[in-house]
Amino acid sequence: MNKVNIKLINAFLERDRLNVRADLESYKDFYCAATSYNSSNIKHGHQRRINPNTLKEFAQKVLEKETELENAKSFDDIYAIIKSCKIYKIGRLAIYDTAIRIAYLKGLEPTEVYLQQGASWGAHKLRIHGKSANRNKFDELGLNDFKIHEIECFLCIYHKCLDCLYIDSCPYIVTPNLFPTKKGICKR
């Protein structure tokens, strides 16, 4: 297995790591985590297509499990509880995002890298398959300085770049200030 290009790793560590942390820190409680609206009342882009009323209904189901969530001892416990709250139009990504936000509020970290949407596409390019993967698979690729939830974010953010032949000229990597959002990622 080839290692991940160091330029991608450095781009994440220098630029995206702080954004990921700031995003997780912006959810003040379980309700905000489940509705995907942070403390500035901004809806997370991952849930942009989900109707706000659907997110509110989902959040109500999550709040019904508040005691269980408070007593949860691991990310896996939280994920299972959130998954049990699933309603129509709430998919795997919304469930994971809600679980990671609540886990972050509680100071808990996943034990495996959960692979959904962009993260699964990135993992697939690295020849890693499944709904989750053991962390050591990513350590071998050069991601050993990453927390587990950061690996998921890295795979999602850079999934289009992982097999790019033009990484040295990718404007997102070479001149990141030109592209403060994901718009600069190579579109092959």
pLDDT in tens, 79-91: 999 999 999 999 9
**What is the arithmetic mean of pLDDT over 90-104?**
97
Give ∠ CA 115-89-126 in degrees, rounded to 5: 15
* Burial status of residue 51 (CB atoms within 10 A of its CB: 0-12, 13-18, 19 or more): exposed
Q: What is the number of structural domains in the chain? A: 2
Tokens of 96: 């994971």
What pLDDT score was predicted for residue 61? 98
Is the pLDDT assigned to residue 92 strictly greater than 50? Answer: yes
* Burial status of residue 45 (CB atoms within 10 A of its CB: 0-12, 13-18, 19 or more): exposed
* Burial status of residue 7 (CB atoms within 10 A of its CB: 0-12, 13-18, 19 or more): middle
Residue 149 lies in a domain: yes
**What is the arithmetic mean of pLDDT over 62-75?**
98
Q: Indicate the range of 33-42, 155-164, 179-188 predicted with least confidence.
A: 179-188
Examine the domain organization and report whether 49 and 89 are in the same domain.
yes
Is the pLDDT assigned to residue 188 strictly greater than 60? Answer: no
Q: Calculate the CA 146 to chain-centre distance.
A: 13
Is the pLDDT assigned to residue 185 strictly greater than 80? Answer: no
- The overall average pLDDT reported for the chain is 89
Residue that finishes a domain, picked among 75, 106, 137: 106
Q: Which structural domain, as residue segments, surrounds residue 168?
A: 6-21+112-184
Residue 1 lies in a domain: no
**What is the arithmetic mean of pLDDT over 89-101?**
97
What pLDDT score was predicted for residue 50? 97
Among 80, 76, 75, residue whose Cα is nearest residue 62: 80
What pLDDT score was predicted for residue 44? 95
Is the pLDDT assigned to residue 154 strictly greater than 80? Answer: yes
Residue that finishes a domain, picked among 91, 106, 121: 106
Examine the domain organization and report whether 34 and 62 are in the same domain.
yes
Enter the pTM of the model. Answer: 0.87
Examine the domain organization and report whether 90 and 124 are in the same domain.
no
Examine the domain organization and report whether 34 and 100 are in the same domain.
yes
Examine the domain organization and report whether 56 and 119 are in the same domain.
no
